Amino acid sequence: MTTDPTSSAPRAPENGGSVVISVDAMGGDRGPSVVVAGMAESARKNPEIRFIVHGDEAQLRRLIARRKELSGRCDIRHTTGVVTMEDKPSQIVRKGDGTSMWSAIESVKTGEAGAAVSCGNTGALMALSMLRLRKLPGVNRPAIACLWPSKNPGGFNIMLDVGADIRADAPDLLQYALMGASYARNGMDIAEPRIGLLNVGTEDHKGRAELKQAHDLMSAAAETGNFRYVGFVEGGDLPSSRVDVIVTDGFTGNIALKTGEGTAKLVGEFLRQAFANSIMSKFAALLAMTSLKRLQKRIDPRRVNGGIFLGLNGTVIKSHGSADATGVSAAIKLAFQLTKSGFQDRLAARVAQSAATLPSGIESEGAAS
């Protein structure tokens, strides 16, 4: 890891904050200025946050100096390399040392920071996170969990996996359920999360063999796992109040996630077009402004920006590559909430316990190989 050349040892921020978040400032499509703006937004709302920021020191020092909210709350770690969106994960695993992404993860590994946030290449971020942090004992396939707007009182459901691995067999899906339940308890304060398994129908006889097996495993594990298993759910249940956590494989979950994001943007665009169509529609929009702003907030993808990597020895949050300051701030807020709640330790305990829920002779393909 490349550190600040003016210091022989890592420095802690001078003052302000008790929860440290490690930020890859160079990842993403919009550059470090947007990342720093998101940090400032978070710092303004929460005096407990402080940052270790990784990237080009000259740029970061200039950008941070413009933000009074960040005064004394940032430790800059100089790096010369940047992981681009075009880089292949296999290349980054071999040559990623010295990049801002590698450095950000390293701060979590050494215990300096409670969580890392990056807008960078998802595949590279997962590969480096697995390389540097390693999987929790007993985890075969880590998962990425996201928040999905819903009718529930908290406003969101959790869905996983949404892209860490396109495959998942029955024991993997059970682990996703247990990790998702832990996330719901610690990140959303839901004492007994309701978990559903995404399928092409709710009937017990439908779905692939691994889904039917996972269905049985989740039913058996619900009591010891401290969750309620509601059975199979369909795509229409993703935003419903029927469940708190939706479990699926990364292939299906990623398609569902991007379809939902695209639909939310399309609805927003249709609303803008409809209310700009005539003088009367513009007047109607003015009368309905409060309601429209409330709707816009409910469907705004930026508010739920931040997918968490589950199943690793450390907390890593993946922000959208195109995230603006509001989106980056949302990802940092999630990192803060999970760090302060002690989520990582609770998750590790839950995963260790999950091995006992598997009937003898049942194991994942990856664990068996």
Consecutive 10-residue runs of the chain (369 residues): their mean pLDDT?
Answer: 36 59 90 94 93 95 94 94 87 87 95 94 91 88 87 86 87 91 84 93 85 92 88 90 93 86 76 74 66 59 71 91 87 90 82 60 44
Neighbouring CB atoms inside 10 A of 52's CB total 24
- Amino acid at the residue 184: A
Structural element, H or E, at residue 289: helix 289-299
The closest alpha carbon to 139, from 180, 175, 107, belongs to: 175
pTM over 0.95: no
The closest alpha carbon to 64, from 35, 102, 42, belongs to: 35
Structure tokens at 248: 């699926």
The region, left, alpha or beta by phi > 0 then psi within -120 to 50, assigned to residue 198 is beta
Question: Which are the contacts of 11, defined by CB distance < 8 A and separation ≥ 6?
Answer: 4, 75
Under DSSP, is residue 305 helix (H, G, I), strand (E, B) or coil? coil
Q: What pLDDT is stored for residue 300 in this prediction?
A: 54
Q: What pLDDT is stored for residue 42 in this prediction?
A: 94
Cα separation, 298 vs 335, in Å, equals: 21
Cα separation, 28 vs 24, in Å, equals: 9
Q: What pLDDT is stored for residue 350 in this prediction?
A: 73
Structure tokens at 231: 């059975």
Maximum CA extent, the chain: 69
Q: What pLDDT is stored for residue 90 in this prediction?
A: 86
Q: What pLDDT is stored for residue 5 in this prediction?
A: 35
Under DSSP, is residue 194 helix (H, G, I), strand (E, B) or coil? strand
Q: What pLDDT is stored for residue 291 in this prediction?
A: 63
**Helix intervals (H) in 114-241:** 122-133, 170-188, 209-225
The closest alpha carbon to 328, from 109, 102, 29, 67, belongs to: 29
